[in-house]
A and B are shown apart, each in its own frame.
Chain A
Amino acid sequence: MNLKKQLLNFGVLGLAITMLAGCQAGPKKVKGDIPLTVIPSGQFVSPPEEYKHIFKNIYFDYDKSDIRADMEGNLVQIAEWLKTNAQVLLKVEGHCDERGSDEYNLALGERRSLSVRRFLVEQGVDSARITTVSFGEERPANPGHDEAAWAENRRCEFKLAQ
């Protein structure tokens, strides 16, 4: 690639960024947010035994909601399964460890669910099929009060419905 072409690409990119920034003046939207449009009426249940190895819990770092690199593989698998089973709806349940305020953790759990949802949508799953629910620190997987328990509790679990 010659230098002139590279510069031209840069210019186009720059223009695109300027246009995007300009768009912010109109109806505002935060980049990456994918609206939740429906509350599914289906009865959500734990994934059947034969799919449990696919719908493994997704774990998070303390006070973080971004998807850890070691969790991406699991999520890619889930996305592929959802794409081949297009009639199935997914509920992502967000949880936190007990540290910090109940209220902040409730919001953080929701954000963890939404991070998982966004990742799956980026893999090509229809956003309308994925709903979220946060339980904050109300439903720990491990009742302990140490780092090992906390690491197990900072998680997203999956429920399925047809």
Chain B
Amino acid sequence: MKTPTMKNLLFIVFFIINLVYCSYLFSAEVEITISKQIERKTRLTLLPFYAQAKSQSEFIILAKEIFAIAEFDFKHSGYFQLWPEEKLPEKALDQAKDFENLNFDFWLDYGTEMVTKGIFEVSGDNITIKFRVFDMASRSIYFEDAISGSQSKLRSLVHTITANLIEKVSGRPSIATTKIAYVAQTGSAKNIYIMDYDGYNHFQFTFDDTINVDPEWNREGNAVLYMSYIQTYPFIYMKKLNADKINLISGKPGLNAFPAVSPDGQKIACTLSFNGNPEIYVIDFYGNVIKRVTWTPSVENSPTWAPDNQTLAFVSDMGGTGRPQIYVKNYLAGDDIDPRRITFSGNYNSSPDWSPIPGSNIIVYTSLYGRNSEICIVDANTGDYRRVTTSLESEEDPSWAPDGIHITYTITQNYKSDIYFMDIRDGVPVKLTSSKNNCSSSAWGPSYKKTK
């Protein structure tokens, strides 16, 4: 029998992953499951940053800026609780001035688990930041990092330091250095934009007056695939972040849409209709068909890859329901193997995105409840699902962050839409765009670790 062997194998993989996780001193075991579960976070005291200079006064604003960037990163890391909740008294803040040592006894009363110290030095346009984290339990330095670069790259420098700490604590990719691609509307034109995960450094990525939608990152995080009508018909293109050249990926007759890059970065799942009906295909980066996946008289769209590089989830209105539901199929399975339906609640389920964490069966998707759509997660193996959002607005089109904890998604209110992110365990929305243009279709880019 094939299934038990697979299960055993999966079990062993899980076991090894757990071992690796447990080896981290502060390893917070995070597993997104259908049941709502919030693990205890590590209490972190973030002390002010100080300039290594005779006079602090000219660096007050810079110090506050560094602090604000780091504070946001830790608050939204998924692993830390900033501590204490109330404001620290002067004598506690003064402790930040001694970068080398920590008075552990002083902090015992606060019940904190980690205390940070940061100093920086400015020389011309250049800035050097040193960061140190003390562990209260072992009374030792837990983490140390230093980084230098142009002040114009300040946000990215701070994000790199915070990401290194978060990744040491969690054993997972951090979102602190990631980017999010999204679509913004100007008149009847739609273009792709890119921003940092915290809503800073927005920049326009495509520049024409047609429709450019459905961004998807390549695995290296240095290019975005998308669908555009720039050549009249809906084709799939790819463009690098630092280049102007647009590469056509798939330009077959009919619809070429919804590109989804496999976790190994080698293949693209998408919808093509050149055979006379919108079906799921797997193609290469030159648009050659590797495999046709579905054979139905219905509509198939929005494929997403499981971490195994083989299983696809996608939307279809097959099966006589006349309404979109989510199905899964291994793309290498025979043509006569029917896709397996995994959503049975609600009559309009769409926009699936499979968790990037190896071994995960969790798919985040959009489900229609009355007039509003809501974010849900479903276990692709069991079909167990949970509704994540319950607001009166419409939440839709979720995309996982590389940490498998956060998602970016769209909230629409009074026909105006904006991009948000949330920790899927607490469901608290963090707004990233402001309603000037309708923003939608956000896609979370990979973590910088993978780009190294």
Chain A interface residues (CB < 8 Å from chain B): 24-25, 28, 30-39, 63-65, 100-104, 106-108, 110-111, 114, 118, 131-135, 138-139, 145
Contacts and interface: CB of A to CB of B under 8 A. Distances in A.
Nearest to B410: A102
A101 B299 CA distance: 13
Nearest to B278: A107
B257 A103 contact: yes
B234 A133 contact: yes
B352 to A, nearest CB: 10
B344 interface: no
Interface in B321-362: 322-324, 335-336, 348, 350-351
Indicate the member of A30, A33, A35, A104 with the most B CB atoms within 10 Å: A104
Interface of B: 188, 190, 211, 213-214, 232-234, 251-255, 257-258, 271, 273-278, 295-297, 299-302, 315, 317, 322-324, 335-336, 348, 350-351, 366, 368, 373, 396-397, 415, 440-441
6 contacts: A30-B275, A104-B301, A104-B350, A106-B255, A110-B273, A132-B273
From DSSP, what is the main secondary structure of chain A's interface residues? loop
A104 B273 contact: no
B351 A103 contact: yes
A36 B335 contact: no
Given A103-B301, A111-B299, A37 B273 contact: no
From DSSP, what is the main secondary structure of chain B's interface residues? loop
Contacts of B252: 36
A101 B277 contact: no
Contact of A114 (B214, B233, B276, B324): B276
Contacts of A106: 234, 255, 257-258, 301
B297 A110 contact: no
A133 B233 contact: yes
Contacts of B258: 103, 106
B275 A35 contact: yes
Indicate the member of A25, A65, A101, A135 with the most B CB atoms within 10 Å: A101
Nearest to B231: A39
B278 A110 contact: yes
Contacts of B441: 102
A28 B335 contact: yes
Nearest to A27: B335
Given A103-B258, A110-B254, 6 more contacts: A24-B336, A30-B275, A39-B233, A100-B350, A101-B302, A114-B273
Given A107-B271, A111-B278, A134-B234, A36 B254 contact: yes
Nearest to B214: A103
